[in-house]
Amino acid sequence: DAGITQSPRHKVTETGTPVTLRCHQTENHRYMYWYRQDPGHGLRLIHYSYGVKDTDKGEVSDGYSVSRSKTEDFLLTLESATSSQTSVYFCAISRLAEGNTGELFFGEGSRLTVL
Amino acid sequence: AQRVTQPEKLLSVFKGAPVELKCNYSYSGSPELFWYVQYSRQRLQLLLRHISRESIKGFTADLNKGETSFHLKKPFAQEEDSAMYYCALRARYSGGGADGLTFGKGTHLIIQP
**How does residue B106 score in pLDDT terms, banded at 50, 70 and 90?**
very high
- How many Å lie between the alpha carbon of A19 and the closest alpha carbon of chain B? 22
Q: Is the pLDDT of residue A100 over 90?
A: no
pLDDT in tens, B90-105: 987 645 567 789 999 9
Give CA separation, B93 vs A81, B27, B28, B52, in Å: 35, 12, 11, 20
Q: Considering CB atoms only, which of A30, A104, A109 is closest to B101?
A: A104
Q: Answer yes or no: are the C-beta atoms of A66 and A58 closer than 8 Å.
A: no
Q: Does residue A8 have a cis bond before it (omega within 30 degrees)?
A: yes
pLDDT in tens, A49-65: 999 999 999 999 999 99
**Parallel/antiparallel/unpaired status of strands A19-25 and A73-78:** antiparallel
B-facing residues of A in 24-63 (CB < 8 A) are 30-31, 33, 35, 40-45, 48, 50, 56, 58
Output the CA torsion sign for A59, A91, A41, B62. Answer: positive
**CA–CA dist B78, B75 (Å, integer):** 10
- pLDDT mean across residues, chain A: 94
